Amino acid sequence: MLVSWSGAALGLYVVSAIVVLAGTVAIWKHQESLSLKYSALLLATVLVSPHLTVYDLVILAPAILLLTDWLISHPSAPQGTGTLIYLTCALPLLGPFTRWTHIQLSVIVMTALLYLMWRTTNKKDEADVNSAERVGTAS
C-alpha cells in the first residue's frame, strides 16, 4: 500500500519477509524460553502473511498470552514490552484506517515487538559470553 508500483512492492515484501524470518530463526537458536520462541513464530506467521485481518487475532492470541506470561516472570524485560503486547492485540481492530495511513499500524507494532524479543535474546547471549570470559580469566 506504500508503493504503487507492483514490482517494487513485491521486492519490498520479499525483503521484509526475509528479515522477519531471519530474526525469528535467530530467536529460536538462543537458549530462551519456549514461550518466547513460540510467540516469535506466531508473530512472524502473521507478519509474513500478505494480509492482516481481525481473524488473525486467533493466531496472535496464544502469542499475546505467552508473551504476557513471559513478561510477568521476567521483571528485567525491556521497558515498553507490555505496551507493545497490548497494542499488538488492539491495533488489528483499526484495520479500516489503512485507507488513510496506507500501512497497518499493527504491523509496525508487531515488528517492533519481534525486534525487542530478538534484542532481548542477543543481550542474554552477550551477558553469557561476558560471564564465561570473566570465569575463564579468573581461573
Q: What is the pLDDT of residues 61-90, one digit of tens each?
A: 999 999 999 999 988 888 899 999 999 888
Residues 6+ apart with CB under 8 A from 119: 78
Q: What distance in Å separates the CA atoms of residue 129 and residue 23, rounded to the nearest whole number?
A: 20
Weakest-pLDDT range from 11-15, 83-87, 100-104, 113-117: 100-104
Long-range contacts of range 129-133, CB-CB < 8 Å, 24 or more positions apart?
none
Amino acid residing at 122: N
Q: Is 79 helix (H, G, I), strand (E, B) or coil?
A: coil
Note whether 60 and 88 are within 8 A (CB): yes
Grid cell locating 57: 487475532
Residue 63, Cα to own-chain centre: how many angstroms? 10
pLDDT band at 138 (very low <50, low <70, confident <90, very high): low
Distance separating alpha carbons of residues 40 and 110, to the nearest angstrom: 10
Angle between helices 57-73 and 81-90 (to 10 degrees): 160
SS3 21: helix
With a cut of 80, say whether residue 132 has pLDDT above it: no
Closest C-alpha to 84, from 59, 107, 53, 50 = 107
pLDDT at residue 19, rounded to an integer = 92
